Structure 1
Amino acid sequence: MSTDKAYASIKTAAAILDALAGALPEGLTNGDIAQAAACTPSQVTRLTAALADAGWVEKLPTGRFRITTRFGRMTFRVMAGFDRAARQLDDLKRNYTLSND
């Protein structure tokens, strides 16, 4: 796969995930995803299969797709990182203030 095609696939996969993020809990059909992500249904089929293999998307018994709880877990990790950064910044501010008295 060329770099341009890989880049386009990544952008389309991100658009698919973005569309699915707003469709909980019922998910979206292949056609709904294609329309929302501005891609073809065959692209949706290929990319949702890859995303499902990676644990980001699941196919429901109805044939619809939805994102998995992996997004929620990632969100908590990101928020924990922000909290750590805020504490480190507070420590730096406190240390700077104490050292310049």
Structure 2
Amino acid sequence: MNFIHNPNQIALYSDSQELLAEVTFPNLNATTVNINHTFVDPSLRGQGIAGKLLLEAAEEIRAQGKLALPTCSYAVKWFREHEEYQDILK
């Protein structure tokens, strides 16, 4: 997967630049982001793409030295299942 890292978003686009999947994490303040949205196109569901997006986001947030406040239901569940990323939770 070739995820595109944009400010506060990690996305996957088709060859025609159609959005196929994304996770968004806007800044709440200088040290905290809100993981507020995860989307995977129905044609790609069941392939673990949402989990890969969250992994990429968690690694990016950690690399930026920020904390995450997950409000997206998928992100909340993902962090519950990945104890190795509890250190970045607000």
TM-score (normalizing by structure 1): 0.30
Higher helix share: 1
TM-score (normalizing by structure 2): 0.33
- Whose radius of gyration is greater, 1 or 2? 1
Higher strand share: 2
